[in-house]
Amino acid sequence: MDVLKLGDREFSSRLLSGTGKFRDKNEIKEVLDKSGSQIITVALRRVNLENPTDNILNYIPKHITLLPNTSGARDANEAVRIARIAKESGCGNFVKIEVICDAKYLMPDNEETLKATKILAKEGFVVLPYIMPDIIICKKLEDAGASAVMPLGSPIGSNAGLQTKSILEMVIENSNLPVIVDAGIGRPSHACDAMEMGADGVLINTAIATASNPAKMAEAFSLAIKAGRAAHLLKLQEESRYANASSPLTGFLNL
Amino acid sequence: MSFLDVLQEYEGFDFENYLERVSDKMVAKAIHKKKLNRFDFLNLLSPKAKNHLEEMARRAHEITVANFGYTINLYLPIYVSNYCSSDCSYCGFSKKNRIQRKKLSLSEVEIEAKEIAKSGIKNILFLTGESKKITPISYLIDVTKILKKYFSFVSIEVYPMSEEEYAKLHLAGVDGLTVYQEVYDRDIYKKVHTSGEKTNYEYRLQTPQRGAKAGMRSINIGSLFGLGEIASEAFFSGLHASYLSDKYLECEFGLSIPRINDAEGHFKPNKIVDDVTFVQIMCAYRLFLPRVEINISTREEASFRENLLGICATKFSAGSKTEVGGYTKAKTEPQFEISDERSTQEVIQRIQELGYEPVYKNWESI
């Protein structure tokens, strides 16, 4: 069984979804149903426990894993505080660290993200940091106890696709942690491309939430992700078969 | 370095002459540029741009959906005092107006806060007239502490203050700041602000930047339309927001488009921003500044606000009262006349019917 492992949990779906930007919170359940997505990220800043009609958690089926995010945090300290509040509010121990102090392009602060990861991983959180792709930071995050890395494809909401592709390839090649491409994926073909490259998952929010039919778009993404994953696995097999079947170029060495 | 330096670059610039010469082609080009420069922005404020309003609105909508989705942030204002030491000829709270003055006691603030909190909205903006004597920093801190019990995001619209004072308020729980320049044209500024601390143009101009330095998360600025020349006022408002967001990356900036209505004192505006021009300004702001919040208050009528939602508004006040103590026992004169008099629940229901998600809460107290 081909599964995505995060912390002590296993997921058959490699599509992570989001709760932002929808016209109607009731659309979230349809998106999850149609796409089979099992993980959904929720901005704690939007969780309104005191108001049942507004409380986003009431619109997410119970079997779905919540991935609270620290959206709005401007440094490690704030991210840590938000993560702790999320846990206390019953959102579980998964956390997507978002430290953004650039309101214009929403670029993540890798340095502060690393600091927050160190603290939260020690406290037992399953930490998924949102980062600018860079193989050095990925290594450091791994040492800090992160459970995956979430490099961006392009700026949040831009729908611009994998603008960081060549760096993403290096990250995927070098990372011992699952790599989940987050942000900027605008079309199913972008998602398929990421998966074919070897990403372990993708997180899609804007492209689904702002589609004319979010549930159908979610389904399209889900299919694209499955196709990309299948192609990636097959490619690995083909590469190994090719290596076995070819006549040795070094036979003369009598190895 | 401050925004003053940017303003100085345009001293003597003949806006009227420039705007007249903007062609349809220049407007069309600006609409579809990925990143607009200052002159593209100005071109969108030209008379010719009115021929392209539908195209501008479509582009503005597209950008807004990509950045904010189908959502609208909601907030409610609470007026805690109408004492004012300034004399702004357009304002209902001006010290010259013989109106009943009132400052809420802390227990009255609490009563109002409880009432407002019933709406479920977690963002509150508290306002005073500009009187540091009657509503000193210590009072503002006390009010903040009460409001923080009921709301997660507290903003202020009070008098301009120093960076240190803003830092104190931020520490007490204030995360948002609204301060309008009112008018960027210096001569008109002088004419309409005849006494009090508000006569200091430069100190006011640098207020948003002091707030950003003090750690405010969100800062809302703008020109009060009706005082100066429309296009240049909109242009400087946009440039100011752009300058600030380039300089203070960690802060979110917003623009409001208040236009003078019938406040006490019966001020007749010099320039009327009609609905067409209003939409033109709003779209120009969005095209120039894709991520800026665009805030529409209840100064505007219900049906007009609904239409703006579909274009590029991202923030609404809902069910506002502009009298001191207005939510529980309205007695004083309002600061300005409200045009959208629906209740918070009605506003929210209409937003949902229009296919948008009202956002009650956009920050967690941490």
In-domain check, residue B55: yes
Q: What angle is formed at CA B257 by the lines to CA B161 and CA B27, rounded to 5 degrees?
A: 125
Contacting residues for B287 by C-beta, under 8 A, at least 6 apart: B30, B31, B36, B40, B41, B44, B56, B59, B60, B63
Enter the tokens of residue A105: 């392009």
Q: A96 an active-site residue?
A: yes
Task: State how far residue B70 is from chain A, nearest Cα, in angstroms.
Answer: 5
Q: Judge whether B292 lies within some domain.
A: yes
**Residue B330 banded pLDDT, cuts 50, 70, 90:** low
pLDDT for the residue A240: 67
pLDDT at B227: 92
Checking if the pLDDT of B64 tops 60, the result is yes
Residue B264 has pLDDT above 60, yes or no: no
Vertex B116 angle, CA B112 and B122, to 5°: 125
- Give the pLDDT confidence of A11-55 residue by residue, as tens digits: 999 999 999 899 988 999 999 999 999 999 999 988 888 777 788
Q: How many domains does chain B have?
A: 1
Parse chain A into domains and list their residue ranges: 4-244
Long-range pairs of B321-325 with CB within 8 A, sequence gap ≥ 24: B321/B77, B321/B79, B322/B77, B322/B79, B322/B298, B323/B79, B324/B79, B324/B80, B324/B81, B324/B82, B324/B102, B324/B103, B324/B104, B325/B79, B325/B102, B325/B104, B325/B108, B325/B112
Q: Is residue B364 part of a domain?
A: no
Distance CA A129, CA A137 (A): 10
pLDDT tens for residues A146-166?
A: 999 999 999 888 889 999 999
pLDDT at B268: 78
Identify residue A140 by its one-letter amino acid code: K
CATH code of residue B75: 3.20.20.70
Radius of gyration of chain B (CA): 19
Q: Which pLDDT score is estimated for A243?
A: 62
Beta-carbon separation of A50 and B120 below 8 A: yes
Q: Say what the pLDDT of residue A242 is.
A: 63
Q: Is A111 within 8 Å of chain B by CB? A: no
* Residue with the two structure tokens 């407002």: B116
Q: Cβ of A21 and B122 within 8 Å?
A: no
Structural contact between residues B30 and B38, judged by C-beta atoms closer than 8 angstroms? no
* Angle ∠(A81,A85,A90) on CA atoms, nearest 5: 155
Task: State how far the Cα of B42 lies from the Cα of B57, in Å rounded to an integer.
Answer: 16
Give the CA distances from residue B166 to residues A131, B109, B135, B205, in Å, rounded to whole numbers and listed in that order: 32, 21, 15, 15
Dist CA A67 CA A43 (whole Å): 9
Reported as a pLDDT band with limits 50, 70 and 90, residue B228 is very high
For chain A, what is the mean pLDDT?
91
pLDDT computed for residue B341 by the predictor: 74
Single-letter amino acid code for the residue at A212: S
Q: How far apart are CA B259 and CA B276, in angstroms?
A: 13
Strands (E), B43-93: 71-79
What is the span of the domain harbouring residue B326? Answer: 3-359
pLDDT in tens, B115-144: 999 888 999 999 998 888 999 999 999 999
Residues 6+ apart with CB under 8 A from B268: none
What is the pLDDT, as a whole number, of residue B147? Answer: 97
Flag whether B245 is in a domain: yes
pLDDT over 90, % of chain A: 73
DSSP run (H or E) holding B174:
strand B174-178
Q: Measured between CA atoms, how close is B62 to chain A, in angstroms?
A: 10
Which pLDDT belongs to residue B263? 57
Residues 145-184 of A with CB under 8 A from B: 157-159
Which of A34, A87, A96, A115 does the annotation list as catalytic? A96
What tokens were used for A96? 């997507």
**Residue A251: phi, psi to the nearest 5?**
-55, -35
Instruction: Of A227-241, B17-31, B101-115, give the lowest mean pLDDT range.
Output: A227-241
Which positions in chain A touch B348 (Cβ < 8 Å)?
A: none
* pLDDT band at residue A231 under the 50/70/90 scheme: very high
HSE-up of residue B77 (Cα within 13 Å, Cβ side): 27
Q: What pLDDT is recorded for position A176?
A: 93
**The pLDDT of residue A247:** 66
Q: Tell me the shortest Cα–Cα distance from A123 to chain B, in angstroms.
A: 18
pLDDT, residue B130, reads 87
Architecture of domain A4-244: Alpha-Beta Barrel (3.20)
Q: What is the pLDDT of residues A109-119, one digit of tens each?
A: 999 999 999 99
Q: What was the pLDDT predicted at B285?
A: 98
B332 pLDDT above the threshold of 70:
no
Using 50, 70 and 90 to split pLDDT, how confident is the model at B325? Answer: confident
A223: pLDDT strictly greater than 90: yes
Give A-chain residues touching B250 at CB under 8 angstroms: 74, 101-103
Ramachandran bin of A92, using left for φ above 0, alpha for ψ from -120 to 50, beta for the remaining angles: left
What φ, ψ does residue A83 adopt, rounded to 5°?
-60, -40
> Is A195 in contact with A236 (CB distance < 8 Å)?
no
Sheet holding A65-69, edge to edge: A150-151, A126-131, A94-97, A65-69, A39-43, A15-18, A201-204, A180-182
pLDDT greater than 90 at residue B243: yes
Rounded Cα distance, A24 and B72, in Å: 12
Please indicate whether, in this complex, the C-beta atoms of A51 and B360 are within 8 angstroms of each other. Answer: yes
B366 inside domain? no
Q: Residue A22: which of B70, B245, B250 has the nearest Cβ?
A: B70
pLDDT reported for residue B359: 92
Residue B265: the pLDDT is 56
